[in-house]
Amino acid sequence: MIGTESSASINKGSLPSANGNGTRSPTCSSDRVLNLEQGDPSVFQSYWSKMEDKCTMVISGSQLMSYISDFTTLCWFMEPEFQEAVRRLHRVVGNAVVDDRYIVVGTGSTQLYQAALYSLTSPGGPEPVSVVSAAPYYSAYPEETDYLRSRLYKWAGDAYEFDKNGTGPYIEVVNSPNNPDGTLREAVVKNRGDEGKLIHDLAYYWPQYTPIIRPADHDIMTFTFSKSTGHAGSRIGWAVVKDKEVARKMSKFIEMSTLGVSKDSQQRAAKIMGVICDDYKNFKSDELFFEHTRRVMADRWERLRQVVDRNQVFSLPKYPKQYCLFSGELIEPYPGFAWLEAKEEEEEIDSQKVLRGGIKVQGRTGSRFGVAQKYVRVSLLSNEERRRKMCGTDSPASINKSSLPSANGNGTRSPTCSSDHVLNLEQGDPAVFESYWRKMGDRCTMVISGSQLMSYISDFTNICWFMEPEFEEAVRRLHCVVGNAVVDDRYIVVGTGSTQLYQAALYALTSPGGPEPVSVVSAAPYYSSYPDETDYLCSRLYKWAGDAYEFDKNGTGPYIEVVNSPNNPDGTLREAVVKNRGDEGKLIHDLAYYWPQYTPIIRPADHDIMNFTFSKSTGHAGSRIGWAVVKDKEIARRMSKFIEMSTLGVSKDSQQRAAKIMGVLCDGYQNCKSANKSDDLFFEHTRQIMAERWERLRQIVERNQVFCLPKYPKQYCLFSGELIEPYPGFAWLEAKEGEEIDSQKVLRGSIKVQGRTGRRFGVAEKYVRISLLSNEEVFKEFLERLSTIKSMSSNGH
């Protein structure tokens, strides 16, 4: 249920409209194809419907706004409550060793699989590292390994057929219980030595699917919230890792690919896992989760076996009973998929075609799993009911305030601003707007029950099938209110922040088979993350080629120019600089800061690909939500495909929260009756904050005469109807003394302020970028320290 704490204010229209899980449900008429190809775990929704009050999650508009959870940990974007809940759940179930292990959170186990590959490889090898898994292997491994054509690793097929002799390093993926056939697995490539590494994918190693025969204790073990509890829509997974450096590299991969993981979903997962553990600790629930879900799976398998035995068309695997440490009994596995094998002798039979053509059931053919087509995988995780009432509780008494994240209202552990503390103003963490959302109180509070938003799927009729319709509607409405982008007759693609969307756009604009990777350029000073985000996987599709001003397109073939406007770091409005593009030059417009609090809206932007982010538009960086506005249908489809392959969708919890907040923001402007817009309206309030900060900063910079700041001309703003000055989210300081000066070292060494050196942006070290988006306490302390700098030379430089 999505709404506010008051029962009167709970808007049923904001609830996902079908099944209580955010999926538009087709009717089950006899002439409709039943899609049982996916592993969408809606089977457990009935359990969570009964647990509404205990699992309801409440998030106010001012909470979980920061990118950062805890900068003292390797996985700095992981919520401490989430890590604690993961460790506790594994101890209750006994399915994995977690003591003295590192936990890494990811956007589902899909992202964690790729993070593990990245952590076990390194650039510079003569050949990509071979990745293998025993057939039948999980059908997504080949595509998830190869879609970016990385020089780090490559898919090499069936582990049974892999000859490691003379091949150098390799990685074997052990999926246990195995998807598709449900068997418990061990590694099959023998005599690994130092060159063979293992990744254990344990998504289904939970008591509802299989006996827990021992606590798993491997180097890298990946798990997922989707299959453990059924909450696939939250897109949350985690890895349990032995080695500190491997955990650090996995965290770095997630930082570069999505700049973290939805805090909304982490907190929801922590809440739900905590409820499961509490019930086992106290035995207060009428039905404990794993016992309930195991009975559901056992019943499904019994009914399926009866039909299969009667028909004599297919056969099913036989699973031996094994002793389960969790239940204390000899029990049989009940996998999440049925692995059907045609009984006819002909090897050429296509079981999937038989099901599709004969009874209109869509499964997944065995050829996708590296075996014959006589096999077909059918999901047993679909919903039992044809129709389902909306699940939620209207009573304000059922909303548990203790579910609110407790630290600073934004999920970040706040450092004190003592004089000996280093002020980190390197990041663009938008805490500056938190005060506004705190004032909005109940209007932006979101409530999600335990049984909502459980499906991977939002709308399979949409190119971007994982995008919530409410989110798309809110995005279009917000752009119409602000007038900063054309959205009519355009496609919207949702992503885990604009970081993921940038990489999705690169993927969409390139294709395999070219003689050289496509060059990617941006005009210096360019956004400092572009080089790393372009090159970290050493893709054969594209490569970073530096400053667009210095790029010679003649004879270089296709290229992509990234136009960041307003530009991060210097705040200027930009156009493309590579001239005479022709058909070979493509553009990506990164418009993260093209909002009225930072810059005049001089026209509605209308480009082929335009990326925006919830982080910079409203300040909610912790939700990790971004979107692209795209002209071309095929580009939008390929961007959506990239997100499917990299994270299998985007947090529904965060999409619904973003839709709620953007809706409140738009309502404020729609309901504004006066000619003069109120300071209580979001963009007026935040622009006033930014204007005041720039005024205070300019006074100190002009008084000190150590640095200079850019001068920005006033321009007419369509949104405000006035000539206004830009107030960028960053200060781009330039040292007035010699070219060799390192401004970042000056700030760090003399006043303990951490900025980001100009070198990271492709220019001289005399420049340094300072965030103006911190909270007021940090900003005030920064100004006080900056005022003490009198000259570069007096500070040891």
Kindly report the CATH number assigned to the domain that includes residue 87: 3.40.640.10
Is 656 part of a structural domain of the chain?
Answer: no
State whether residue 528 is helix, strand or coil. Answer: coil
Is 722 part of a structural domain of the chain?
Answer: yes
Q: Residues 541, 635: one domain?
A: yes
SS (H, E, C) 285-316: CCCCHHHHHHHHHHHHHHHHHHHHHHHCCEEC
Kindly report the CATH number assigned to the domain that includes residue 319: 3.90.1150.10
Q: Residues 293, 272: one domain?
A: no
Q: Residues 355, 328: one domain?
A: yes
| DSSP strand pairing (337-342 vs 314-315) | antiparallel
**Interacting residues of 783 by C-beta distance below 8 A, sequence separation 6+:** 696, 697, 700
Is 419 part of a structural domain of the chain?
Answer: no
What is the C-alpha to C-alpha distance for residues 496 and 241, in angstroms, rounded to an integer?
A: 24
Q: Residues 104, 250: one domain?
A: yes
Contact (Cβ atoms closer than 8 angstroms) between residue 473 and residue 494: no
For the chain of 797 residues, list the mean pLDDT of each consecutive stretch of 10: 30 34 49 66 62 79 88 94 97 98 97 97 89 97 96 96 80 97 94 86 97 98 94 95 98 96 95 92 77 92 94 94 96 96 83 90 94 94 49 28 37 54 66 64 82 88 96 98 98 97 98 89 98 96 95 80 98 92 88 98 98 95 96 98 97 95 93 61 94 96 94 96 96 89 93 95 96 92 92 52
- Residue 412 has what pLDDT? 47
Q: Which residues pair with 495 in a beta bridge?
A: 626
The alpha-helical segments, DSSP class H, found in 705-758 are 743-751
Q: Residues 156, 263: one domain?
A: yes
Q: Omega before 16 cis (within 30°)? A: no
- Residue 282 has what pLDDT? 85
- Using the 3D structure, point to which of 230, 255, 282 is the last residue of a domain: 282
Q: Residues 557, 592: one domain?
A: yes
Residue 649 burial (10 A CB sphere; 0-12, 13-18, 19+): buried
Rg for the chain, CA atoms, rounded: 27
Query: Which parts of 160-233 are beta strand (E)?
Result: 170-175, 196-201, 220-224
Contact (Cβ atoms closer than 8 angstroms) between residue 429 and residue 771: yes
Contact (Cβ atoms closer than 8 angstroms) between residue 366 and residue 323: no
Is 453 part of a structural domain of the chain?
Answer: no
Q: Residues 229, 303: one domain?
A: no
- Using the 3D structure, point to which of 282, 301, 336 is the last residue of a domain: 282
Q: Residues 199, 336: one domain?
A: no
Is 389 part of a structural domain of the chain?
Answer: no
Q: What is the dihedral of CA 13, 18, 21, 23, to 10 degrees?
A: -120
**What's the number of domains the chain is made of?**
4
Q: Residues 294, 263: one domain?
A: no
Q: How many residues are there in the chain?
A: 797
Q: Residues 525, 574: one domain?
A: yes
Is 409 part of a structural domain of the chain?
Answer: no
Q: Residues 220, 293: one domain?
A: no
Is 576 part of a structural domain of the chain?
Answer: yes
Is 413 part of a structural domain of the chain?
Answer: no
Tokens (6 digits) for 789: 């700098």
> 38 phi and psi, to 5 degrees?
-80, 165
How many alpha carbons fall within 13 Å on the CB side of residue 438?
10
Q: Which amino acid is at 570?
A: D
SS (H, E, C) 597-663: CCCCCCCCECCCEEEEEHHHHHCCHHHCCEEEEECCHHHHHHHHHHHHHHHCCCCHHHHHHHHHHHH
Tokens (6 digits) for 182: 């449900």
Range of the domain at 338: 7-57+288-379
Q: Residues 101, 33: one domain?
A: no
- Using the 3D structure, point to which of 248, 282, 316 is the last residue of a domain: 282
